[in-house]
Homo-oligomer: A and B are copies of this chain.
Amino acid sequence: MTRSATPKMTLGELAERLGARLVGDAGRQVSGLATLNTAEPGQVAFLANRAYLKDLPGTRAAAVLLHPQHAESCPVDRLELDNPYLGYAAASRLFDPLVGREPAGIHPSAVVDPTATLGARVEIGPLAVIEAGACLGDDVTVGPGSVVGADTTIGAESRLHANVTVYHGVVIGRRAVLHSGCVVGGDGFGFAHDGSRWHKIAQLGGVVLGDDVEVGSCSSIDRGALGDTLIGNDVKIDSQVQIAHNVQIGEHSALAGCVGIAGSTKVGRHCMLGGGVGLAGHLTLCDGVQVTGMSLVTNSIHEPGVYSSGTGAMSNAQWRKNAVRFKHLDDMAKRLARLEKGRGA
């Protein structure tokens, strides 16, 4: 897509669009966001974390988004909000050069099947492919080189970046964001073994993504064997994530980079999986489960809370001594019990 210049606006407009209370010059032009200590005079900064309070007095920003409680320490114009971090998120979208561009329409080099249905203001980039029976809602953007499979539906205002692949028979909700290299609808990993070799099980299900789903670069969401892989509304998926066939992810859950979820596992609503977490197949995680980075989960979890596995890094010399003992842990436990018995402990 073509990037237009960063949007410009006045502090007054910005305050109005953020619902913030402006203390300062409503007519001042601002043209971007930055951190307190890197902001230049034309930019807006924010204070959302006390750890950065020390940077407030010295900021050169045109204005700062902050909570009223920090007003007195602010050396420049300010935009007061009860939740400055949400304010920063909203402001970031206002300054996003990709937002509010004029749609470029359908590039002549794109290959769009005549049976595909395109909504209003759809943008299809150079060398993209839209297969037979696909249906794109209003204001959908398909980046260069992306492929939308046959009979796939993409909801209004969704954006596929460049080189995204969506297979046939997939349903994607509204306002989805799919990053480059991600693949939605590839075959699940299903084979039957006859004692000597594998026989493929055709993956006849699909994938359904709810509204407001984001999928990071190079992530895979496989189609179901029978029935669909289901990703709920407002689920956020980072890069390099693998979601196997017939997995279900509840609304508002977030999966960090390199997460892998095996087949038919159900993750609840408002769950958070740290980077590199692995979930075995056919498990159920209830709502509100958090799993810390690189943990392996092999049993279902029925209580909300934070779960972990593994051991933290130490010097390799220290680790060698301890890791070898791990192989004798059961033996140590038995010897310990014998000793206690011996002294009537």
Query: Interface residues, chain A, CB within 8 Å of chain B?
Result: 1-3, 6, 32-35, 38, 83, 85-86, 88-90, 92-93, 95-99, 107, 109, 111, 113, 125-127, 129, 131-133, 143-145, 147, 149-151, 161-163, 165, 167-169, 177, 179-183, 186-187, 189, 191-192, 194, 196-204, 212, 214, 216-220, 222, 225-227, 234, 236, 238-242, 244, 252, 254, 256-258, 260, 262, 275-276, 278, 280, 291-299, 301, 305-330, 332-333, 335-336, 338-340, 342-343, 345
In angstroms, how far is the closest chain B Cβ from the Cβ of A176? 12
Q: B202 touching A99 by the CB < 8 A rule?
A: yes
Contact A240/B217 with A183-B181, A313-B296, A314-B327 known, Cβ cut-off 8 Å:
no
Contact B275 A3 (CB under 8 A): no
How many whole Å from A115's CB to the nearest CB in chain B?
Answer: 9
Question: B162 touching A149 by the CB < 8 A rule?
Answer: yes
Given known A-B contacts A180-B165, A181-B165, A328-B333, A92 and B242 have beta carbons under 8 A apart:
no
Best-buried of A89, A192, A313, A314 by chain B (most CB within 10 Å): A313
Please indicate the chain B residues that have their CB under 8 angstroms from the CB of A329 in the complex: 321-322, 325-326, 329
Closest Cβ of chain B to A198, distance in Å, is 6
Return chain B residues, CB-CB under 8 Å to A345. Answer: 335, 338-339, 342
A-B contact pairs, 11 of them (CB 8 A): A2-B113, A88-B201, A145-B163, A161-B186, A189-B256, A197-B212, A217-B222, A242-B258, A258-B258, A294-B296, A342-B343
From DSSP, what is the main secondary structure of chain A's interface residues? Answer: loop
Bound state CA distance, A202 and B33, in angstroms? 11
Most chain B CB within 10 A, of A179, A194, A234, A326, is at A326
Contact A226–B33 (Cβ < 8 Å)? yes
Closest Cβ–Cβ distance, residue A208 to chain B (whole Å): 15
A99 to B204, CA, bound (A): 12
* Measured CA separation A317–B335 after assembly (Å): 19
In the bound complex, residues from chain B placing their C-beta under 8 Å from that of A98 are: 202
A121 CB → nearest B CB, Å: 20
Known contacts A240-B241, A324-B330; can you find 19 more A-B pairs with CB under 8 A? A96-B204, A109-B111, A143-B147, A165-B181, A177-B200, A179-B183, A182-B218, A189-B256, A189-B257, A191-B236, A198-B252, A200-B214, A262-B293, A276-B276, A276-B278, A297-B312, A309-B310, A310-B310, A335-B345
